[in-house]
A and B are shown apart, each in its own frame.
Chain A
Amino acid sequence: MAGLNHYLLLSAIMFSMGVVGFFLRRNVIVILMCVELMLNASNLALAAFAQFSNTIDGKVIIFFVIGIAAAELATGLSIVICLFRNRETVFVDEMNLMKQ
């Protein structure tokens, strides 16, 4: 009963939630979580396509995406820790030295 379109719509909803959350929150860790949300949403779309087009490639790509997400997150969080050590803050609007 659930067709491809439904899965894609669901994926789109989750993705736009991630976008909204990205601009809504000031805490950098939460922002990273929203990035993970977006990645997750696209994973879902990939799986849906893999299922409904009888291919295996979508699932393989998910595999890779998850791997990349892990590496990226590890690095990102260590950067956050560094920043926290320097600035004593995790709020993005206080980290705007690049303006100068």
Chain B
Amino acid sequence: MEGVLFWVFGALAVAGTLVVILSRNPVNSAIGLLFCFFTTACLYVLLDAQFVAVIQVLIYAGAIMVLFLFTIMLLNLETDIKKEVTSPGTRILGISIGSGILFEIALLLWHYRITPFLGTYTPEKLSLTGNIQAIGRSIFRDYILPFEILSVLLIIGIIGAVVLAKRD
């Protein structure tokens, strides 16, 4: 069951990315991205990371995509296909580099079965305490400093956004 679901959601995610990069209308791209986020959340659930999935939907799909759409609406863009794509040179370069990276990683994955070091958080243990508690405990014990820094970063983001976007 899980295997099938993985393929389904994986295909849907790739389809979403294709929509993002190939549609001429930026709003279409935004919708495609939204779809991609949703399918990724589903994949997170498959990976037994429910909390992360919820966070993904809430923040990414909820806040960030809304921000994107608001900006697109604010700028009131025209859609002209001729102007939407870069020059052929850059295009070729980009496609080749992208496929190059994909090729490299695929090559690696094809030849090696990656077996990481095993830690202590087995799924059974995880289901005992629940995802949220485990993550929360980890954040507030081991990763407290990055947490604080992240909060400072968010404040900076807020201030920056206000300063940059206001009319003077």
CA distance A5 to B153 in the complex (A): 34
Given contacts A54-B119, A75-B160, A84-B75, contact A2 B67 (CB under 8 A): no
Query: What's the tally of chain A residues with a CB closer than 8 Å to chain B?
Result: 72
Question: For A43, what are the chain B residues with a Cβ–Cβ distance below 8 Å?
Answer: 40, 52, 56
A77 close to B68 (CB less than 8 A): yes
Q: Mark B4-26, 1 if CB is under 8 A from A, else 0.
A: 00110010011001101110001
Question: Which residues in A have their C-beta under 8 angstroms from that of B86?
Answer: 23-26, 93
A29-B17 in contact (CB<8A): no
Contact A44 B40 (CB under 8 A): yes
Contact B85 A33 (CB under 8 A): no
A13 touches B72 (CB 8 A): no
Within 8 A of B (CB), among A50-75: 50-57, 59-60, 62-64, 66-75
Known A-B contacts A23-B91, A56-B134, A81-B164; the reply to A18 vs B114 at CB < 8 A is no
Q: Are A34 and B52 in contact (CB under 8 A)?
A: no
Q: How far is the CA of A27 from the CA of B98 in the complex (A)?
A: 19
Binary per-residue interface labels of chain A (28-54) against chain B in the complex, 1 for a CB within 8 Å, 0 otherwise? 011011101100100110011111111
Closest B residue to A49 by CB, please name it: B116
| A4 CB–B CB distance under 8 Å | yes
- By the criterion CB–CB under 8 Å, are B164 and A17 in contact? no
The answer to whether A79 and B164 touch (CB under 8 A), given A56-B121, A93-B86, is yes
Q: Is the CB of B84 within 8 A of A27?
A: yes
Q: Which of B43, B87, B99 has the most CB of A within 10 A?
A: B43
Q: What A residues does B97 contact at CB under 8 A?
A: 19, 23
Question: What mask results when residues 37 to 53 of chain B are scored 1 for a CB within 8 Å of chain A, else 0?
Answer: 10010011011110110
- The smallest C-beta distance from B160 to any residue of chain A, in angstroms, reads 5
B150 near A5 with CB under 8 A, answer: no
**A20 in the interface (beta carbon within 8 A):** yes
Q: Are B164 and A78 in contact (CB under 8 A)?
A: yes
B7: A residues at CB distance < 8 A: 2
Given the contacts A30-B26, A79-B164, A82-B164, A20 and B21 also touching, CB distance less than 8 Å: yes
Q: Which residues of B contact A33 (CB under 8 A)?
A: 20, 29-30, 33, 68
- Of all chain A residues, the one with the shortest Cβ separation from B71 is A77
Determine the distance from Cα of A22 to Cα of B123 in the docked complex, in whole angstroms.
37
Is A17 touching B94 in the complex (CB atoms < 8 A)? no
B158 at the interface (CB under 8 A from A): yes
